[in-house]
Structure 1
């Protein structure tokens, strides 16, 4: 093998090894600080180590300052999650993991958001294409797309009931307390993520490439399918993942529209009633059983979400093109 062909592998290996080393050191530092009962020591260590790494990489004064200050926010985001996992009782985790009610809640919290994300992408991509190409009054439409991002969650749930419930746009559809209503509520709050991410992807596609395809005889649909869509595929996938994640985290709208639902549960091969979305289930568990029981369910949901994110990245993002 030539030196040129081996070099990218060596660089990638070195980078991966460095990242793994940093992660290992950070986890070790957190474990030590947590075991001695002073997690604040880890926060100090993480911030100082970020500045030291920037200094070792020769980033200069600005780079060191940026890395240090940026790590302050990173620690504020990561430390609560680390503490959530670290403070769990293994016995309580095992008990929650084997609890059929918890299993059904976790299943619903993957299944319903997946339906919502698929709906957001299926309906959001055409709108994203139109927005990317521009039209008169586009600012108004973009404002309407972004409006669910600023609407309070409880208001979103009420709006969904008024719009699609009894006397609404779907008079024959049962919305309140159904899986359909839950998916509607999730789609309402998560669709902007799918639309905006896809729109940004289509805007980055070079129009000259599309014109070249048209001059070679491809019609508009073929140009979109074979040129535009593959080039924007990662953005579309990102939008779908963000929409799914937003739907998983939804509490207020779901609690109002579909507090508990009946859903077909594959492990039992039957329809099960009274299943709650995990955030609603965790809140009820906190009220009825306290911090330890709700924390174990929250940890299971966190691990499940992280695992799915890693799976999506490994199967789609790192390969390029259509996922």
Structure 2
């Protein structure tokens, strides 16, 4: 009996990679035509129809065709705004903003601050994630506290930071409002769950027999974690760090409440400067300069973030990491 995933047409002579490239090229051409004609709706219908046809040609299975078609509708909501955003940018304005010292400071702060938040989230989140993976009494309560920032409105998160660490808070001698410390605390609050949960999943995927074998051969808990558990979970840790960094980069509400403008040491200036976190800066640019100027700044920020994300993913891919016992 033939399998249900048997293709309706023979594609044995066609490389799947070439088919994917052809599909992407067709999407690009269709979008270009629709955008030039001023009819982006045409492209939305084309994407849905071409996805359904491609799924039919490759699989010939009604379930796969239906799933691909439904998924393409969601992709329209995700991809079409991005495509139109890129297509409508003015290169001259992007260059102008890219040469602006204010944008340089924004980019530095937008990468440096979230990086500190991600490192803090991993430094203290990895041990907690390991405890979650092993289990302990009262774990559900602690898990609820860790996941709370995922459901708390962003502006409320900023208020919580001010109550917890501002005047009359846990560290009364530490300046939080309008400071780099306050901004990093706000970012850590909203991004820590991503680091903890991703690392926890990595720990839970490790076979307990490997740790047991390490202990049987005389290794203590520290050596077992350093030589067995941590290397096997390193991909999850990096993934958690990247997610925490990305979440911190995109944070607006909490940062706007705690540290709308911050003073920090800026190496090119050789001293302290005042700047705003990237989402806050983009918002201010939108209020003062309109959609075109804010779009140019957003384009630059999007490009820098994408490059960093792709670089980290490449450095942590299967071809560049062992992921095994060391």
- Contact 1:233-1:321 at 8 Å conserved across structures: no
CA distance in 1, matches of 2:21, 2:305: 21
Work out whether 1:223 is the aligned partner of 2:224.
yes
CA shift at 1:16, angstroms? 4.2
Structure (1 or 2) with the greater helix fraction: 1
CA shift at 1:267, angstroms? 2.7
- Contact 1:316-1:322 at 8 Å conserved across structures: no
- Tell me the equivalent position of 1:213: 214
Report SS of the residue matched to 1:271: strand
CA distance in 2, matches of 1:134, 1:260: 41
CA shift at 1:14, angstroms? 4.5
Q: TM-score, normalised to structure 1's length?
A: 0.92
- Tell me the equivalent position of 2:145: 144
CA shift at 1:182, angstroms? 0.3
User: How many residues matched?
Assistant: 311
- Tell me the equivalent position of 1:49: 50
Any stretches of 5+ residues in structure 2 without a counterpart? 1-11
Further displaced range: 127-136 or 17-26: 17-26
Further displaced range: 243-252 or 18-27: 18-27
CA distance in 1, matches of 2:115, 2:198: 17
What is the RMSD computed on CA atoms of the aligned residues? 1.7
Further displaced range: 113-122 or 21-30: 21-30
User: Cα distance 1:121–1:14, how it changes in 2: closer, same or farther (>3 A)?
Assistant: farther
- Tell me the equivalent position of 1:316: 316
Work out whether 1:169 is the aligned partner of 2:161.
no
CA distance in 2, matches of 1:15, 1:181: 50
Deviation per CA, 1:110-146, whole angstroms, max 9, x where unpaired? 1100000000011100000001100121111111111
- Contact 2:315-2:321 at 8 Å conserved across structures: no
CA shift at 1:23, angstroms? 2.4
User: Cα distance 1:264–1:19, how it changes in 2: closer, same or farther (>3 A)?
Assistant: farther
- Tell me the equivalent position of 2:106: 105
Deviation per CA, 1:31-81, whole angstroms, max 9, x where unpaired? 221111111111111111211221122151000100110111112111111
- Tell me the equivalent position of 2:75: 74
Deviation per CA, 1:191-229, whole angstroms, max 9, x where unpaired? 000001111110111101111111122111111111111
User: Cα distance 1:269–1:29, how it changes in 2: closer, same or farther (>3 A)?
Assistant: farther
Any stretches of 5+ residues in structure 1 without a counterpart? 1-10
- Tell me the equivalent position of 1:244: 245
- Tell me the equivalent position of 1:5: none
CA shift at 1:28, angstroms? 2.3
- Contact 2:186-2:255 at 8 Å conserved across structures: yes
CA distance in 1, matches of 2:304, 2:30: 25
